[in-house]
Structure 1
Amino acid sequence: MSSGTPKDWKPSAAPPDPLAASRLEEWVRGGCEGGLDAVALDFSGADLSGGDFSESWFTESRMVNSRLVGCDLYRSDAEGADFTGADLTDADLVRVNFDEAVLRDAILDRANLVKASLYGVDASGAKFRGTRFLGASLLSVDLCGADLSGSVLEENSFKVKLDDRTIMRGTSGSVFGPVELLSEGATHVLGGAELERWIEDRGGSVQVIHRA
């Protein structure tokens, strides 16, 4: 367990699914040593807040409407997992693999996504308020209707989908574009100074870096 997680940690609410609940209980009974193997299990509705799940396997798992507030998922694999409506506020998501995952309507406020991988992710309607994306890779990510207010980016690959509902107020840093903008029923490709102006018009300040 990490120094910030009590050794007697227990979930506030176990998953309703019997198989997932049994796997979690066994892991907790073993002192939460090593990563949790949650591959393809259904943890929907569970409250795992405050747990240390670093180097765990959530591959293809269902985490719909689960609570993971303040959790540590450092270097975990969540490829193809469904986090629809999940709450990952203040979570440590450094180097997590979210490729092909679903983050639709999830809350990731103030989460740490440093060097995380997000490829082919549906994050439409998600909340990323104050989230740190430093060095993260966002490729083919749907951010339509997402809230990125106050988020920080630093040299991020940022080939994403945005729309007029995407909130960029207070977003700062630097990205590699271009992005796809869905506006008035049409798709426009924005990069360079044009993308910078679009973000600035929405209260953000992001430098778009040109790749050599």
Structure 2
Amino acid sequence: MTASPGTRDVFYGIDTDLSDVDLSGRDLTEGWLSRSRLLGATLRNCSLVRAHVEEADFSEADLSGADLTKASGRGSVFRDARLHGTDLKAAELNRADFTGADLTSANLGDALLTRSTLARANLTNATADKAVLRNTILDEAQVRGLTGTVIGPISVIFRGQRTLLDGPDLEQWFNTRGARITRFHAREAS
């Protein structure tokens, strides 16, 4: 694909199998990977800024250092993926599955993760300034060193039952696990 002068190529890979492919360092800004399979793919330091990754499957992929700022990824799957230092700022990842994913030192600032699953995910030393975690499942997630403000409620197993935690209970759940999280209050924005 050749771009016109003053423009750049945009990657189109909708419904494509890119499993085990190495795309490290590639510029896939505004690219289209919706419904694609990237199982075990390597996307280290890859730019996926404003990319469309809706329902894409990144299971066991390595996205360490990747930039997914403002990516659209409703229903995407990151099971057991490695996302060390990945930038997910303002990404829309509602209903995404991060079960067992390693998000160590990731930036979740302003990310939309409503009804997503972060069960058994490692969020050690990640930042979550104004991350939206409404009804997000955090069962057995590692949150030591996670800092920031979140919008809840979150969904966890508490005393043997699925429970939504918000307000002081949300803060207590995070902070007793070594995080430094506060619940975002709308008045803080003024």
- TM normalised by structure 1 equals 0.82
Q: 2:98 aligns with which of 123, 127, 149?
A: 123
Pairwise CA RMSD of aligned residues? 1.4
- 1:157-196 to 2 correspondence within 5 Å? 157-159=132-134, 160-163=136-139, 165-183=140-158, 185-196=160-171
Contiguous gaps of at least 5 residues in structure 2? 3-7
Question: Structure 1 residue 94 and structure 2 residue 94: aligned?
Answer: no
Greater C-alpha radius of gyration? 1
Q: Which has the higher strand share?
A: 1
SS in 2 for 1:119: coil
Counterpart residue identity of residue 88, structure 1: L
Identity level (%): 32
Pick which of 177-186 and 118-127 moved more.
177-186
| Partner Cα distance (1:186, 1:82) in 2 | 30
Q: What's the counterpart of residue 44 of structure 1?
A: 19
How many residue pairs get aligned? The number is 181
Q: Is the 8 A contact 1:192 1:210 kept in 2?
A: no
Counterpart residue identity of residue 178, structure 2: G
SS in 2 for 1:193: helix
Counterpart residue identity of residue 91, structure 1: A
Contiguous gaps of at least 5 residues in structure 1? 1-25, 28-32
Q: 1:143 aligns with which of 102, 114, 118?
A: 118
Q: Is the 8 A contact 1:172 1:204 kept in 2?
A: yes
| Partner Cα distance (1:99, 1:119) in 2 | 5
Runs of 4+ aligned residues of structure 1 deviating over 3 Å after TM superposition are none
| Partner Cα distance (2:36, 2:162) in 1 | 32
| Partner Cα distance (1:126, 1:185) in 2 | 24
SS in 1 for 2:138: strand
